[in-house]
Each structure stands twice: as C-alpha cells, then as structure tokens.
Amino acid sequence: MASEIELVAMRRAIDVARERGNCLPNPTVGCVVLDADGREVGIGATVRKGAHAEIEALAAAGERAKGGTAVVTLEPCRHIGNTGPCTEALIAAGVTRVVIAETDPHSEAGGGAEVLRAAGIEVETGVLADEAEPHNRAWRFAVVHGRPFVTWKYAATMDGLSAAPDGSSKWITGPDARRDVQTFRAQCDAIVAGTGAVLADDPRLTVRDAEDLPLPYDLQPLRVVVGETRIPNYYRVFDRVAPTLLIQSREPEEVLDKLTENGIKHAWLEGGPRLAGGFWKAGLIDRVIGYIAPSMLGSGRAALEGEAATLADLRPIEITDLSTVGHDIRIIGTPGAAPRETYI
C-alpha cells in the first residue's frame, strides 16, 4: 500500500505532467524520484517528441535515486522510442520501488511493471489512477481502439444555428469562448475541417496563446482539410504557421484511417455541418463541446446536418460539464448509442 509520502509525490507527478501540457502522440506522464529517506530528489515530465518523464527525473536525482522510489503516473515503457526503455533506466539507477498510477495498454511499450519485478524491484500499480486518468483519456482511447479520439466542437445560437442564411458565421460566440476554444485545441494533435468551411471562413485552424499569438510550428496540431473541392493556395490554411494535410474523402472511416497513419491520437473536428454530420451518423464522435450564444438567428444553417428522421432516432448525449464562458454557455458531453426509446 502506498505511503502518505508516495501519495503526495504522485499528486505532484500528476500536477507536473498537467503543467507540461500536450505531449501527443506520446502520453502525458509525470515522475517524482524519492531518495531512500523519502525526500524528493528528482522530478520530470514527458517532453513532446523528447525525453520521457522517468529519464528527466532520474537525471535530476543522479546518485540519490539509488535505494529510492520512483513515483510515476504511467507504467514505465519497456521499448525503445525517443529514449531507451525507461525500465532499463530505473533498474540502472538502483531504485528499489516503483509506484505507478495507470498501466500502459500499448502492446509494445506496456508490460514495464513485470520487467521491473523480474529485476527485483517492488512495484505497486493503481495508485491514484482515477486522478491521473483524465490527462491521458484520448491517448488511451486511441491506443485501445486503433483510431484517434474525436472531439467535435461547434458554436451555435440558442435556436441551434451556426451560420446565417448568407453563410456568415463569424463571430457567433464572444471573445471569452474563442479563447476557451484555444485551450481545448491545444490538447489535440490534429484540427480537422471540411473544404466548405475553409472556403467560407478562411480559418487558420491553429492554436494561439493567451496573447493571440501562434504557438511555435513544432507545437502546432496538424491541420487537416477534408473534401474533394480545391482550396486556393493563398488561403491561410496553407501558411507556414503549422503543417497541413489534405484528405480527398468525406468518408469518416477513411479520414480516421489516414489520421492514424500519420500518428494522430486526438482529432479536433470543427467547421462544416456536413462533415460533422457524417462523423455523427457513423458514430465516430467521442466527445461534443458546444458553445451556445445568447442570441437567435431564426433561419440559416444548423450546426449538424441531420440524421434523425423522427424523435425516436434521437441520439442521447451524457452531459459531463455545463458552464458559462463569458456571455456564452459551454456544454461538454459524451454521445450515446442511437436510436433510443423516447418517453412522453
């Protein structure tokens, strides 16, 4: 059973992993190394396309790790990736105990706990796993299901419309909601939009920071434009702020296959009710984030091109968060299966 000192260290590891931010396509991982007397001597978090948390923490601890404990939010890997196996590094450092929050479902990287036990290291798993789990939910889904986790974001008026009859849609929601979107975008490694939305709005499909400046190129999600309509090369989606991938298909399964080939773990779907409708009908939307503006249009384009022919076809959404962002309402939910029974 984990000691109070180890529980404190695990929460510290969870916090440092969260602060480090998006590491996709790698998982978000934090590690704290305690010396033989239970004092913190090293801390680290996985770097995007760089060193793993354990390697960083062990480097900080140095010789003080010998006889100590490594507290890590995800089971140490046993394969060669951006670094050598973290299991080998822990064994070489001389730690005698490893405390783990979540096990690794990856067929190649997982199984590190057994490697450590075979080397004579005491291992405990499942420590504060429920607190660590949210930070790697999309990554874990992608590993288990073999396709990216898909978040669909939309903005609409209170009567459910995302564009006026003339096609204009900027800006339905306010500046606070738009800044909030950047926070969620930054958690993904691909931003996906249809050609119709790109032609209509000329979006950048990038992540911007609190000062509305673009993040560095190597931290930007992959921009993905889906559809067969040609986009002129002077559109902003082709600027040098972020990489761009064109997929000439509107079949959701084909789009996700292509994203999987490119190593994408979390796709952010926005822009285009037809594309979103295709993903919704195929049951390939895993989370919905809706921003509802306190206004009405009366006529225009709906946020989603229809699937339901009757109320019996309604697809339920389990609401997991409901809050106000500035003057707008933000709703986050998990789609259920369709159809469902209706109750009058």
What are the catalytic residues?
Answer: 54
The pair phi, psi for residue 310, each rounded to 5°, is -150, 165
- In order, the DSSP letters of 111-134 are -HHHHHHHTT-EEE--TTHHHHGG
What is residue 225's DSSP assignment? Answer: E
How far apart are the C-alpha atoms of 88 and 188, rounded to whole Å? Answer: 30
Q: How far is CA 331 from the centre of its chain?
A: 17
Residue 272 region by backbone torsions, left for phi larger than 0, else alpha for psi between -120 and 50, else beta: left
**Bridging pattern class, strands 161-163 and 149-157:** unpaired
CB 303 within 8 A of CB 288: no
- CA–CA separation, 204 and 196 (whole Å): 14
Distance from the Cα of residue 45 to its chain's centroid: 17
Whole-number Å distance between alpha carbons of 265 and 253: 15
* Terminal Cα distance for the chain, rounded: 51
- Give φ, ψ of 217 to 5 degrees: -50, -45
